[in-house]
Amino acid sequence: MSGAVWDLRILSWNLWELRGDLPAIIDTVEDLAPDVLLVQEAPRFVLPRARLGWLSRRLDRRVLVGGGARGRGLAVLGTDAVAAQVVRRGAHGVSQRVSDLNSTYPRGVAAVRLSVPEGDGRSVVVAATHLALQEDNRRAHAEHLAALVRGAGSPVILGGDLNETADGTARTLLAPLCDDPADQGEWTFPARRPQRRIDAVLASPGVRVRAARSVHATERVSRERLAGASDHLPTLLDVTL
């Protein structure tokens, strides 16, 4: 970080409510060293805040927003340096039509606004989301997200389990405002034999992307071990603001 230039590494990951290989999760995050971790399927039952807090301490990160029984499975974790730049934080739900048991899973957005160091008041919004399994609910959720991006007044980075590929209804709606800069062949699901890219970190105009990819292995975590950490692979975005 120098002057008004801020390099950030964003990692987004569906953590499967911590039902997988916890040491593999910890080693992966430590190897990748993200400044911000966007979590989907954070613990929602059985001491959810305590479990997320335990994970954040093991990762030497702070829970900036989210977690707990009402957290809708979303959380944003960050380093101390990122936490020092938080201007505002919040999480809220989005309504959806209940049509089956899967549609009862709570959906929402968890976001933080970060002040860009030495940026003369400039900021960036970094958010986590988890779109629904039903197409009509995903579209309604995307419309809600689009309104948030339009009203942000600053660049937006949005990471999540989107439950559809780039040609899906919701992502097509979001693409003019906040798009996935990675090659769509960077598949993320299912983790053991990925065949689709349904997880991504989207970036709005004003964010200079240096690298974007899914993660299949790290220095200490093999493909096989990473596939046991969650049913989704993590996705990574390196940006300069």
Is the pLDDT at 1 greater than 60, yes or no?
no
Asked if residue 111 lies in contact with residue 127, where contact means CB atoms within 8 angstroms, the answer is yes
pLDDT at 196 over 60: yes
| Domain span at 102 | 7-240
CATH code (residue 21)? 3.60.10.10
- Per-residue pLDDT tens digits for 199-211: 999 999 989 999 9
- Is the CB of residue 237 less than 8 Å from the CB of residue 128? no
Give the mean model confidence (pLDDT) for residues 225-236. Answer: 98
Residues whose CB is less than 8 angstroms from the CB of residue 23 and which lie 6 or more positions away in sequence, other chains included: none
* Least trusted range by pLDDT, from 2-6, 21-25, 69-73, 216-220: 2-6
87-138 tens-digit pLDDT? 999 999 998 899 888 788 889 999 999 999 988 889 999 999 999 999 999 9
**Of 155, 62, 163, which is closest to residue 105 (Cα–Cα)?**
163
User: How many domains, the chain?
Assistant: 1
Look at residue 1 and tell me if it is in a domain. Answer: no
* The pLDDT of residue 3: 54
Residue 2 counted as domain residue: no
| 23 and 40 Cβ atoms separated by less than 8 Å | no
Domain annotation covers residue 91: yes
